[in-house]
Amino acid sequence: AEKAGGSAAPAAGAAGGAYIPPALRGKAGAAAAPAFKLHDYEQATKISTAPTGPPGADMAKPSKSALKNAKRRAKKAEGGGEAAAPEAEAVAPAAAAPAPAPAPEPVEETADTLTKKVRNLQKKLRQIDELAAKQASGAEVNAEQQAKIASGAALR
């Protein structure tokens, strides 16, 4: 069958051969031409499946993140059988609960920290006053703003 261009080039599958570039189609030795190679000077190399890292890195031991991920995966796989042993699950949280941390020792407050706290409280009270005035003027206030207005009495 002829194509619209008038050349009688066979389809790639019909000839059963390799791809022939358009410039070589219809020429005497085109079908016998060897397959195209990008780099004839390169040898085929086997691709390594071993992980590679930056130069100088010791790949014999896994990184911190790899260890952490492995632990997480193991814990997740171990947790898959939770439905089979609900009694063990009920005991484990009670035993694994950490002891409450001791109360932190009081830190001496310097003048700078006290002035910061005073400014912070003054700002909160100013915002509460603005919200109360907004509410008194008839504007709608949302639930968070109402909670802030209610907390004003504790700050004063």
> Per-residue pLDDT for the chain (156 aa), expressed as one digit of tens each?
445 554 444 444 445 577 888 887 877 655 554 555 566 676 656 555 666 667 766 667 778 898 999 999 999 998 865 544 444 444 445 555 566 666 667 667 788 999 999 999 999 999 999 999 999 999 998 999 999 999 888 877
Cα-Cα end-to-end distance for the chain: 96
CB-CB contact of 66 with 51 (8 Å): no
Report which secondary-structure segment, H or E, holds 48.
none
Q: What is the 3-state secondary structure (H, E, C) of 109-123?
A: CCHHHHHHHHHHHHH
Rounded to two decimals, what is the model's pTM? 0.32
